[in-house]
Chain A
Amino acid sequence: MAVTLSSPLTKTLKIALIGNPNVGKTTIFNQLTGLNQKIGNYPGVTVDKKKGVMTYQGNSYEIIDLPGTYSLYPNSEDEVIVHRVLNQFSELEKPDFVLMVIDSVQLSRGLFLATQLIDLGLNLAIVLNMSDLAEKSHLEIKTFELFKKIGVPILRTDARHQKGIDQIRELIHQQNFSNPGPFIEAKEFLDTNELVDVREFFDLDNDYRAYQLLRFGLKDKGLAEEKIAWISKKLESVKTDLEAAQLEETKIRYRKISSVIQEVLVKKETVEPEESKLDKVLLHPFWGYLIFGGILLMIFQAIFAWASVPMDLIDGFFAELSSWLIETLPQGPIADLLAEGVIPGIGGVVIFIPQIALLFGFLAILEDTGYMSRVVFLMDRWMRPFGLHGKSIVPLVSGVACAIPGVMAARNIGNWKEKMITIMVTPLMSCSARLPVYIILIGLVVPNDHILGFINLQALALLGLYLLGVLGVLATAYGLKTILKTDEKSFLMVELPTYRTPRWKDVLLTMYNKSLTFVTAAGKVILAISIILWILGSYGPPTTMESIRADRDAKIAVAENPEQVEEIEREASSALLENSFIGIMGRAIEPVIRPLGYDWKIGIALIASFAAREVFVSTMATIYSIGGDPEDDATIRETLDSQINPVTGNKVFNKATAFSLMVFYVFAMQCMSTLAVVYRETKGWKWPIIQTVYMTTLAYLAAFITYQIFS
């Protein structure tokens, strides 16, 4: 990493990067700062604060990447942040200069925001990006004319092809930003006498800023309480209709911009844009959905195929590390805690990285090519009846691989209610961690037969479990839609950008940043819970535990061969688990889970797998002291199949119990990593707790019904 500290004599200059969505702002940010980026938080909102450091000719500059927006009007959380930073409500976040990125093909829309920034009195420079696209569309922008009309420095770049980036660096270095004075005067659209005391109270020298503060100040929870109170009071006495003023401002601004554009933009010829042909297929009412389905299938295949290799390596590495620690460290509780609690806990965090990185890599490609907003267009209609948004399709689909990236992807949904519903239901999609549990249980009770000659019954059962998950998503989303309340209006209004080849560097950076965010934000919680679970699973009332160990050692002393020793050790570890605190808890919850068809041994596995579903399989292996390779499904299956209930004399894993368990795992939360991510995304424990309670309740009821049907 480069040195990020500026010399103590000079203050590091802060430059805010702003622009409409899809203008290549992030590419410029990445190229200016490289890997020298930091993701932080803005107080009161879930929007990430993206900062980076640019070093140029020995100087450092702080670059703030603001969320994309069409105007200063704060409609979503993202835009509240833009509004806050640019209105300079808080000294800490105050930028010295603003670099405005405009898509050359979308000049008028870009100038709308740019002229608002000018009216705020900010020192500004404009980057006309995507000059290649403008050429393709046969547009010519007379840059010098535009400069004369607007009055701020203008650069032309093609960031995707790394053209013009050095000029941006030079411009920042020269501090070549300026403000020519208002583009339109506030008095053109409202009575500025109303603003006099606002300017006085907030000590402002600018009418437009005073108007912005009065009109939108209440939307920002970052403002000090007494200031909010003052604005509320002032709003009661304001005679001007501020909403009408905003409309008037918009009209006047666009009128003036179009007169500017007439003089600076030369349209050589009108050509039908290329994407029309592609869109005819990709947005087709039939082919469009089919292709989307095909792309999803390909992505999942790739994730399963590519993620399993690094995941096995990570798994193996941490297992090796644990056994190495056991051998190297002196025996004792510390060595045990490290080898069996901390190391597997860290491993449990790291193991998710391949899936998260791959999924976000694919999502970044879909986003970058412009295809993702087409998917939103196709799916919106089918999501809305359930209180979801077209954008909810991304988290839900990701959930089939892993709920963690799914929940993380939900932040793109602007509407609070739709975002919350999406986060709450995404973990109900059957993720890849449920698969081992499903497969073992299906293998136990569903015959490997075919019906109609070609449909495999086991495959059918598996499909049924996935569909049950989807059904759970839709039903729960519908329920939440009627419960959650919001004043925010849901809207779509999304641009379907020109198709482009993905920028691979940006894709890699997204993969890196998302993985890092997961490890740093969720890692601590996951580690803490795994250590607690390990302690509960390895300690119990000392006298019982000691006598089991003494008994084991005595037996081993008289054992005749290594096989016998192994057998004794297996039985002892099974007995130790049964008598540990988790074992005691498993017994304690037996009355509660009996109606679901479970005994206390399954209860232990349920509690132990609260951290992660896949633990169910290994815990069952320990409880039933299964020898051989615990990863081998066949051995586990055989042992489980031979378990007889001592009271009834029937098999423990009959059809009813096995199906009840499968259904339980379809709906139960049983994944602390997801919980940790929901905690991060919702900024508190309220929603993760609600989520765990409702999912567990749902799982219990559904498992109960299943057991009653099959028994």
Chain B
Amino acid sequence: MTADQLSILDTATIEKLQESPLKVNLMELGFLPGKKITLKHIAPANGPMAFRLDETLLALRKEEAAVIQVKLIQ
């Protein structure tokens, strides 16, 4: 699954980043394979999503989150 499909408060491990022009931008922000992310907020009407990654809260648009392939942690 990809990060945009997570539900609120889901925590997941990043498996890999799919090919996209945004891949490098996501990586420099710290979205790297092996890292854990938690979905904390979603803005209304399919708006941006805010993920906790380490100590920071990072907002991404839905299509940007879709680049991140994740595995849900139960």
Contact = CB atoms under 8 A, between A and B. Distances in A.
Interface string B13-44: 00000000111111111101000000011011
Contact of A495 (B25, B27, B40, B57): B57
Contacts of B22: 489, 491, 493
Interface residues of A, number: 38
A378 interface: yes
A107 to B, nearest CB: 9
Contacts of A251: 27, 32
Contact of B58 (A376, A382, A491, A494): A494
A377 interface: yes
Contact of B48 (A73, A275, A377): A377
Given A73-B28, A377-B48, A377-B50, A493 B58 contact: yes
A376 B47 CA distance: 11
Size band of the B side of the interface? 20 to 34
A492 B59 contact: yes
A223 interface: no
Contact of B50 (A108, A283, A285): A283
Interface in A229-247: 246-247
A279 B28 contact: no
Interface in A336-390: 373, 376-378, 380-382, 390
B46 interface: yes
A492 B41 contact: no
Q: Which of A276, A279, A283, A497 is most buried by chain B, counting CB atoms within 10 A of its CB?
A: A283
Interface string A455-495: 00000000000000000000000000000000001011111
B73 interface: no
A276 B21 contact: no
Given A378-B47, A381-B43, A489-B21, A112 B28 contact: yes
Contacts, number: 103
B6 to A, nearest CB: 16
A105 interface: yes
Contacts of A496: 50, 56-59
A108 B1 CA distance: 26
Interface string A266-294: 00000001011001000101000000000
B43 A108 contact: no
B30 A381 contact: no
B41 to A, nearest CB: 5
A106 B54 CA distance: 8
A497 B23 CA distance: 22
B33 to A, nearest CB: 8
A109 interface: yes
B46 A381 contact: yes
A109 B29 contact: yes
Contact of A254 (B32, B41, B58): B32
Given A493-B64, A494-B59, A283 B43 contact: yes
Interface of A: 70-71, 73, 75, 105-106, 108-109, 112, 137, 139, 246-247, 250-251, 254, 273, 275-276, 279, 283, 285, 373, 376-378, 380-382, 390, 489, 491-497
5 A-B pairs with the lowest CB-CB distances in the bound complex, closest first: A381-B47, A496-B57, A71-B28, A285-B44, A70-B28
